[in-house]
Amino acid sequence: MPDIFSLIQNWWKQILAVVVFSLLTVGVITFLKPQQYLSVATAVPASSFAADRSKIFNENVQALYSALGTPDDLDMILGTAKLDTVYLAVTDQFNLFDHYKTSEKGEAARRKAASRLKKNTKVMKSEYGELKVKVWDTDNNLAPQLANTIMNELQSIHQNLQSAGNESALNGLMKGKAKLQMQIDSSLMSPEKRPEFLKRIEEYEKLIGEYQLMVDSKPPSIIIVEQAKSSNWPDRPRRIQVMIATGMLSFLFALLAALVLQRRKTSNQ
pLDDT at 62 over 50: no
The residue among 52, 49, 55 whose CA lies nearest residue 70 is 49
What share of the chain in percent tops pLDDT 90?
41
Alpha-carbon distance of 5 to 181, in angstroms, equals 98
Which of 89-103, 174-188, 213-227 is the least confident region?
Answer: 174-188
What's the whole-model pTM score? 0.74
Which of 84-98, 126-140, 181-195, 251-265 is the least confident region?
Answer: 181-195
Please give the domain boundaries of the chain with CATH numbers for all domains: 1-33+237-253 (no CATH), 34-236 (3.30.1890)
Alpha-carbon distance of 10 to 13, in angstroms, equals 8
**Which residue would you say has higher pLDDT here, 2 or 167?**
167
Report pLDDT for 121.
97
Q: How many CA atoms lie within 13 A of 124 on its CB side?
A: 8
Angle between helical axes of 142-185 and 85-94 (0-180°, round to 10)? 110
Edge-first strand order for the sheet with 222-226 is 121-125, 131-137, 37-45, 222-226
Report pLDDT for 58.
57
Per-residue pLDDT reduced to its tens digit, 157-183: 988 887 877 788 888 888 888 888 887
Alpha-carbon distance of 137 to 251, in angstroms, equals 33
Report pLDDT for 53.
56
H/E segment holding residue 212: helix 194-217
Which of 46-55, 57-66, 133-142, 199-208 is the least confident region?
Answer: 57-66
Terminal Cα distance for the chain, rounded: 16
The residue among 222, 86, 78, 71 whose CA lies nearest residue 155 is 222
Per-residue pLDDT reduced to its tens digit, 4-48: 788 888 888 899 999 999 999 998 988 888 899 999 999 999 876
Let me know: does 119 contact 135? Beta carbons within 8 Å: no
